[in-house]
Structure 1
Amino acid sequence: MEDRVVLLLNELIKIDSSTKSGANQAIEFCSNWLKQQGLQVKEFNNEGYQSLVCEIGEGDQTVVFNGHVDVVEGEDEQFHPHIINEKMYGRGSVDMKAGVAAMIETIVQLKDQQLSTKVMLQLVPDEETGGLYGSKYLAEEGYRGEFVICGEPTNLGVAVQSKGVLQLNFKIRGEPAHGSRPWDGVNAILKATNLYEDILKLPFAEETCPPLYDKPSINLAQLKGGKVYNKVPEVCDMAIDIRYLPNQSPDDIYQQIKEITDGEVNIHICNDPVKTKSDNPYVENLCKAIKRNTQLERVNIFGQHGSSDGQFFTKYGCAAIEFGPVGADWHGRNEMVYIDSLKEYIEIMKDFIQKNVQHEVNSR
């Protein structure tokens, strides 16, 4: 089993899935792999983006295994995986082709067993670029479950919540003047940066959400202004990426910012947070499975600062989490995953499904 999942991960890393065509190639590879293992696969094409769904088991409850095959850009050598000291290196090794490979292997090992819970494997091509054509589409088409596990890297911890995303575009205008006499004009770049500093002092920026979060994250992502040295810039374009707390309202945040903005401000993206409770029965059952199959005495339950495709399922009443193997440096030069954690992850997922999740959840 371990050799098979390592082989699958190795082959997946070789596929440069940082592009649309590459991600589609990875989906096709996974589809063929699943079919070769005797599983039925539903394939989807949404605006040229390919996804797949593979279902096993029976029952009234459905657990979704959600994984993305796309990766961020990498150097050529990062798509040539190698193993050093039981760690596999390569682009996407832990974010999240390790999770994908382990989820596939879990489905393969469970396919001939009588399960009282349905398991739905979803593989999508575009999480890194927003997830609109993969997970969002599948959720809208009714491919959902009571519990969604996104196999993002969590070092075998359970991320029960994630911040929402509010990305804003600004156009700030000043007054042009000769560069030798800046006091005769209004510098749009300085005006924009001063606005950013003021945003950091707004009430929403000081709010907390214990015990999982301190404050929202506010990132000055883009600043573009000025064309020549000898002129006070009259226009500045600014972009801010806000990761707001699960208990905050993006509409309220937008209004607070709009009230202090002398210029244009428009919403680029507004995505929901994930608000799964740590005492959710599925979460508790998963934590039990983690303890049974690892040496962990306590499972790390935490909140993610970033987002995942779980956000697209919560609006339908689904509980979503992130749970994945152990690794490091995702999106970095030395991205890697511990091979031993793949085996642990598979055993945890199998145990979680086999311990009659449906019965235990219904008995609460």
Structure 2
Amino acid sequence: MKYPETKESVEVELTKTLISYRPVTSTEINSCMDYCSKWLQEHGLVVEVLENKGLKIIVANLPNNCKDLPKVILNGHIDVVPGGENVFKPKIENGKLFGRGSYDMLGAVATMMIVMSDLTKKDSLKYNVSLVLVPDEEKGGQDGTKFLVDNGYLGDFVICGEPTNYDISIQSKGVLQVEITVKGKSAHASRPWLGENAIEKAMDTYKKIKSLKCFEETNAFFSEKSFNLSTINGGSVINQVPDECSFELDIRLLPDQSVEEIFNLIKSEVPNIKISLLRRGEPVMVDENNIFLNRLKTIANKVTKGDIRFIGQYGTADTRFYSEYGVAAVEFGPVGAGHHGPDEFVYVQSLNDYRKILNEFILN
């Protein structure tokens, strides 16, 4: 998608400011949160600042919110992945705003903040609208969005401003991460028949698990399987048969597959092998007939004059925490590229359009 050169807008100015805070460490993230809190209050929002494990979280509400109306939540994460000093010096070239977090997702955060400011000037809203800014999505989201939903900060429809180039992610894979430890018997390497090689046993175990038919399944949104041998650790010296080997698997499951059932299937397939659950994450699957979802798609098509698609994400986002409570949550963000890389950027015009989409979605 191409955009023309555009004049600097309030969305760009605020995005630049957020990038300059370099929100990587807890101290820098909290400083950025303090700025956001002050900005939101100065622009008419009712701001609640929570703290969990030393990290600040912002919940901003409109002063004219009506609790009896359906609730829409705009969710954005302040934290970004680390990088060199240059990536935290935002610049504009050829209609693109470069900088760490411009695309993932400080551009969306800045725009959501401005949308909330816009809404304070409107009367008779159709929705109860909240903005939540969280500090730790890049590290898993446990201390931010999960903390919020577990404490009742829920709604009827959630938009997480993750980078999607205007497409709307309505599915994401579930996560199953395990460590498998295989025992053998040590012996001198010159007489391997006297021992039992734990590394070879581990590889046999790995192949057996990988061959399970459940990992070959696909659906309309996911055509590739996500099964990764991530780490392996075995043996201590070259002239000894290793007596222990461990490896870690990162497995992403289709939304209609049960994480618990697959975990139990793995254990039954390789009995007498130690299998430790490292992390599990539930999938996301939003009903394609959801009225909020289709309204968002219609308005996005109208503003961008594009062909917005429903898509699936192979990775995870904070949408999964809302999904666990049965709340429809989607990923929907502006247009750019290169997130987590040295040339990350977002199109300036897409931030302007993103503001229009969110405003019209909430107002109509």
- Shared fold per TM-score greater than 0.5: yes
Query: In the TM superposition, what is the alpha-carbon distance from 1:337 to its structure 2 partner?
Result: 1.0
Query: In the TM superposition, what is the alpha-carbon distance from 1:164 to its structure 2 partner?
Result: 1.0
* Distance in 2, Cα, partners of 1:194 & 1:80: 50
Q: Which one of 221, 238, 262 corresponds to residue 230 of structure 2?
A: 221
Q: Which one of 203, 208, 217 corresponds to residue 213 of structure 2?
A: 203
Q: Which runs of 4+ in 1 moved over 6 A?
A: none
Query: In the TM superposition, what is the alpha-carbon distance from 1:179 to its structure 2 partner?
Result: 3.3
Query: In the TM superposition, what is the alpha-carbon distance from 1:180 to its structure 2 partner?
Result: 3.9
* Distance in 2, Cα, partners of 1:277 & 1:148: 13
Mapping of residues 323-342 of structure 1, within 5 Å: 323-342=332-351
* Distance in 2, Cα, partners of 1:321 & 1:161: 8
Q: Counterpart of 1:28? A: 34
Q: Counterpart of 1:255? A: 264
Q: Is the 8 A contact 1:146 1:317 kept in 2?
A: no
* Distance in 1, Cα, partners of 2:316 & 2:188: 45
Name the amino acid aligned to 2:282: D
Q: Counterpart of 2:251? A: 242
SS at match of 1:242: strand
Q: Counterpart of 1:106? A: 115
Query: In the TM superposition, what is the alpha-carbon distance from 1:156 to its structure 2 partner?
Result: 0.5
Query: In the TM superposition, what is the alpha-carbon distance from 1:36 to its structure 2 partner?
Result: 2.2
* Distance in 1, Cα, partners of 2:193 & 2:110: 61
* Distance in 2, Cα, partners of 1:52 & 1:333: 29
Q: Counterpart of 2:59? A: 53
Name the amino acid aligned to 1:245: L
Mapping of residues 1-364 of structure 1, within 5 Å: 3-56=9-62, 57-58=65-66, 59-114=68-123, 115-208=125-218, 210-261=219-270, 262-296=272-306, 298-355=307-364
Query: In the TM superposition, what is the alpha-carbon distance from 1:2 to its structure 2 partner?
Result: 5.7
* Distance in 2, Cα, partners of 1:184 & 1:340: 69
SS at match of 2:185: coil
| Aligned-residue identity in percent | 41
Q: Which runs of 5+ in 1 are unaligned?
A: 356-364
Query: In the TM superposition, what is the alpha-carbon distance from 1:219 to its structure 2 partner?
Result: 1.4
Q: 1:251 to 1:28 in 2, by over 3 A?
A: same
Which string of whole-angstrom CA distances, capped at 9 and with x for unpartnered residues, describes residues 270-298 of structure 1?
111111022211111001110111120x2
SS at match of 1:41: strand
* Distance in 1, Cα, partners of 2:193 & 2:22: 52
Query: In the TM superposition, what is the alpha-carbon distance from 1:198 to its structure 2 partner?
Result: 2.0
Per mean C-alpha deviation after superposition, the further-off stretch among 227-236 and 241-250 is 227-236
Q: Is the 8 A contact 1:168 1:269 kept in 2?
A: yes
Per mean C-alpha deviation after superposition, the further-off stretch among 333-342 and 170-179 is 170-179
Query: In the TM superposition, what is the alpha-carbon distance from 1:96 to its structure 2 partner?
Result: 1.1
Q: 1:332 to 1:186 in 2, by over 3 A?
A: farther
Which string of whole-angstrom CA distances, capped at 9 and with x for unpartnered residues, describes residues 256-282 of structure 1?
211233521011111111110222111
SS at match of 1:152: coil
Query: In the TM superposition, what is the alpha-carbon distance from 1:138 to its structure 2 partner?
Result: 0.9
Q: Is the 8 A contact 1:2 1:343 kept in 2?
A: no
Q: Counterpart of 1:358? A: none
SS at match of 1:293: helix
Which string of whole-angstrom CA distances, capped at 9 and with x for unpartnered residues, describes residues 39-85 of structure 1?
22100011212101011233420000001111122122211222221
How many residues in Structure 1 have an aligned counterpart in Structure 2?
353
Name the amino acid aligned to 1:160: I
Query: In the TM superposition, what is the alpha-carbon distance from 1:300 to its structure 2 partner?
Result: 1.3
Q: Counterpart of 1:360? A: none
TM-score, structure 2 as length reference: 0.92
SS at match of 1:334: coil
* Distance in 2, Cα, partners of 1:301 & 1:214: 15
Query: In the TM superposition, what is the alpha-carbon distance from 1:230 to its structure 2 partner?
Result: 2.3
Name the amino acid aligned to 1:85: N
* Distance in 2, Cα, partners of 1:125 & 1:215: 31
Query: In the TM superposition, what is the alpha-carbon distance from 1:91 to its structure 2 partner?
Result: 1.6
Q: 1:12 to 1:179 in 2, by over 3 A?
A: farther
SS at match of 2:333: coil
Query: In the TM superposition, what is the alpha-carbon distance from 1:215 to its structure 2 partner?
Result: 4.9
* Distance in 2, Cα, partners of 1:335 & 1:163: 25
Query: In the TM superposition, what is the alpha-carbon distance from 1:22 to its structure 2 partner?
Result: 2.2
Please report the RMSD computed on the Cα atoms of aligned residues, expressed in angstroms. 1.7
* Distance in 2, Cα, partners of 1:245 & 1:263: 25
